Amino acid sequence: MTKLPYLPETPSQTAGPYVHIGLTPNALGNAGIYPQDLGISPIRDGAKGERITIRGTVTDGAGMILRDALIETWQADAEGLYPAPNEARGQADPNVTGWARVIADFDSGQWTLNTIKPGSVPHTSGGTMAPHISLWVVARGVNIGLQTRIYFEDELAANKKCPILARIEHKDRMRTLLAKKTGNGEYWFEVKLQGEDETIFFDL
């Protein structure tokens, strides 16, 4: 057998139904191990930008709402800068951590993200990506974490020019990536794992 010129990535396995034990023990009720869970908020007091709340659910192909899903979110600050050590364009807002973990409510399955609306981010090969929040969705029955993005239905002009949205061949599916505005600073976003109106998932 010839040796591969690279090491293969460690293969994924499902997060299973008990992911909260490891990633959000305090939210589960297993207090006492860590003072607080990681990723409790993507922003701190004083974060610049428009405060928004996004609520939503994760549903399966039978239309059932998942109560064991965990979503991680990653976003830029209001200027479009990532609060990351490898962000080369400048220093992001110190009150934006950019990263959060949100879990489906154990009873209703609804999740809530309180954050700021991110700015546009340049695309490496030209163009500008419309304001978006990257999502990584794991749950029992999900064998490898699913990548998707929240875009905003009220960013029409920016969305039209986004090189990632332009990749989508079936234009009627694009709406599955748009958070619906339900009020002042309030949005609704459903992740549909399968079936009619299945959310667009990426391989980026």
Partner 1 sequence: MADAPVRGPLVARDRLWHPPAYAPGYKTSVTRAPSRALVAAPSTLSEETGPAFGQDMLGELDNNLILNFTGQPAIGERIIMHGRVQDDQGRPVPGALLEIWQANAGGRYRHKKDGYAAPLDPNFGGCGRTVTNAEGRYEFLTIRPGAYPWPNGPNDWRPMHIHISVFGSGFGQRLITQMYFEGDPLIARCPIVNTIKDGSAIEQLVAPLDMSAAIPMDCLAYRFDITLRGRRQTFFENRPEGL
Scanning residues 142 to 181, which ones bind partner 1 (CB under 8 A)?
A: 142-147, 149, 164, 167-168, 173
- Subset of residues 50 to 69 that bind partner 1, contact rule: CB under 8 A: 60-62, 64, 66, 68
DSSP 109-177: --EEEEEE----EE-TTSSEEPS-EEEEEE-TT-SSPEEEEEEETT-HHHHHH-TTGGG-S-GGGGGGG
Query: 99, 105, 114, 155: which one contacts partner 1 (CB under 8 A)?
Result: 99
Residue 82: name its binding partner from partner 1, Fe ion, none (Cβ under 5 to 8 Å by kind): partner 1
> Which region, judged by CB under 5 A, interacts with Fe ion, from 15-23, 48-56, 135-143, 195-203?
15-23
Question: Helix, strand or coil for residue 158?
Answer: helix
In angstroms, rounded to a whole number, what is the distance separating the alpha carbons of residues 55 and 187? 6
- Give Rg (Cα) of the chain: 18
- Asked if 104 and 59 count as a contact pair (C-beta separation under 8 A), the reply is no
CA angle, 118 then 104 then 141, to 5°: 110
State the minimum distance, in angstroms, from the CB of residue 180 to partner 1. Answer: 21
Q: Which two tokens stand for residue 150?
A: 């929240």
> Which region, judged by CB under 8 A, interacts with partner 1, from 46-54, 79-87, 152-160, 182-190?
79-87
**14 lines the binding site for partner 1 (CB under 8 A):** yes
In angstroms, rounded to a whole number, what is the distance separating the alpha carbons of residues 16 and 104? 14
Residue 85: name its binding partner from Fe ion, partner 1, none (Cβ under 5 to 8 Å by kind): partner 1
Query: 48, 55, 123, 161: which one contacts partner 1 (CB under 8 A)?
Result: 123
Residue 106: name its binding partner from Fe ion, partner 1, none (Cβ under 5 to 8 Å by kind): partner 1
- Other CB atoms within a 10 A radius of the CB of residue 128 amount to 15
Query: 2, 3, 7, 46: which one contacts partner 1 (CB under 8 A)?
Result: 7
Query: 120, 130, 132, 151: which one contacts partner 1 (CB under 8 A)?
Result: 132
- Subset of residues 79 to 98 that bind Fe ion, contact rule: CB under 5 A: none
In angstroms, rounded to a whole number, what is the distance separating the alpha carbons of residues 127 and 145? 28
> Which region, judged by CB under 8 A, interacts with partner 1, from 48-56, 98-106, 108-116, 180-188?
98-106
CA angle, 163 then 168 then 170, to 5°: 150
Interface residues with Fe ion (CB under 5 A) are 16
